Amino acid sequence: MNNPHLRYLKEHQENAAHPFGTGGYGRFAEQVARSMGTPRFLIGQTTILIIWIALNGFILHGSAAWDVYPFILLNLALSFQAAYAAPLILVASNRQGERDALRADADAKHREDVADRAHTLLDKLVELVGQNTDITQQVHILTEQMTALTEDVHTKICSESNSDGHLNGVPSP
């Protein structure tokens, strides 16, 4: 799985990978359910119906037609198709609902994980801001101390200079 948040689906991976089972029925049901609503299927079925009605209603007459109007054999074939298609489509719909529920569960776990990581990062950020504030206060205190020491040294040096222009016994230039 390339998408990192789908790692939460691993516990349901078998069901998500084979929603109709792994046997022959599962493959058949999946293939039928996936193909029933496609444009290819609808165009093919419409073409067959048009040919059936054209042959039996207009082209072939009398005893040559195998299904005369009101097309009872066609009605039987369509009823047969509907009787088998509906349960397969319902099975596919139920399985899709299960896959959607699994994905929703994985998304919820992913959001919880992201929220937990965000809280952890926020806590670390608050800690770093606190440390930065402490360091700034220490720098401020040290700066005040250095300023005071500099002033003391300057005052001491200035007070030790004698009136004859010598600074600590060294003649000034």
- Please, which residues have CB within 8 angstroms of residue 92's CB and are 6 or more apart in sequence? 19, 20, 29, 30, 33, 34
Q: What are 117-164's pLDDT values in tens digits?
A: 999 999 999 999 999 999 999 999 999 999 999 999 999 988 887 444
Cα torsion 46, 50, 56, 60: sign? negative
Q: How confident is the model at residue 22 (pLDDT cuts 50, 70, 90)?
A: low
CA distance 68 to 118: 72
CA distance 41 to 81: 13
CA distance 60 to 124: 85
Q: What are 81-107's pLDDT values in tens digits?
A: 999 888 887 877 777 787 788 889 989
